[in-house]
């Protein structure tokens, strides 16, 4: 089942139990902080949605359209973001521990101060991403493409960066102890 959370359709498409977690306002849509962890939102259209501090632990967001979404301080630990579109998403301070972000597109996303411990970002596209001060300890970045990414102050201890393309990336004050490069 596909969900469309664009402003025009939000109030009419949801059936319980999701309806109990959504509120609409005049100018934007908001997923309440008490949102359903473990929700199946596979291939959902969440473009530009306001999901600040949402609890999306274990949610299936594979193939979801999350470009421009506000996910600041959201909890996406263990969530499946496989092949999701997260371009220009605001994820500063978000928690994505153990999330599956394989093959996802994160271009221009803001992941500053995010908790990304043990996230799987294999084959992910991370162009002009802000990962400053993010915690990527134990992350899997094999085959990921990081072009012009900001990794200043990022903790990459124990991360796997084998076959990762790092072009124009800034790594000032990054912690790289135990990181694997090949």
User: pLDDT digit string (tens) for 126-161?
Assistant: 999 999 999 999 999 999 999 999 999 999 999 999
CATH level 3 topology of 33-182: Pectate Lyase C-like (2.160.20)
Tokens 């994820």 belong to residue: 91
CA distance 66 to 142: 23
Does the predicted TM-score (pTM) go above 0.75?
A: yes
* Beta strand spans in the chain (E): 22-24, 29-31, 125-127, 145-147, 165-167
Burial class (CB in 10 A: 0-12, 13-18, 19+), 136: buried
pLDDT higher than threshold 90 for residue 10: no
Take residue 4 and report the two structure tokens written for it.
Answer: 């469309």
Tell me which of 96 and 29 has the higher pLDDT. 96
The residue among 30, 38, 80 whose CA lies nearest residue 55 is: 38
**pLDDT for 37:** 73
Q: Is 130 helix (H, G, I), strand (E, B) or coil?
A: strand
Tell me which of 6 and 26 has the higher pLDDT. 6
């Amino acid at each position: 089942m596909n969900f469309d959370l664009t402003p025009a359709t939000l109030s009419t498409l949801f059936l319980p139990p999701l309806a109990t977690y959504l509120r609409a306002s005049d100018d934007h849509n908001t997923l309440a902080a008490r949102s359903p962890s473990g929700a199946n939102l596979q291939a959902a259209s969440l473009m530009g949605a306001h999901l600040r501090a949402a609890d999306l632990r274990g949610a299936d967001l594979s193939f979801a359209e999350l470009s421009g979404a506000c996910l600041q301080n959201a909890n996406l630990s263990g969530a499946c973001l496989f092949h999701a579109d997260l371009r220009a998403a605001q994820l500063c301070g978000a928690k994505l521990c153990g999330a599956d972000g394989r093959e996802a597109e994160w271009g221009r996303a803001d992941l500053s101060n995010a908790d990304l411990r043990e996230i799987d970002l294999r084959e992910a596209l991370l162009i002009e991403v802000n990962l400053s001060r993010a915690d990527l300890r134990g992350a899997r970045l094999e085959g990921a493409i990081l072009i012009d990414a900001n990794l200043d102050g990022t903790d990459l201890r124990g991360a796997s960066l084998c076959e990762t393309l790092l072009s124009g990336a800034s790594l000032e004050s990054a912690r790289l102890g135990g990181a694997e490069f090949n």
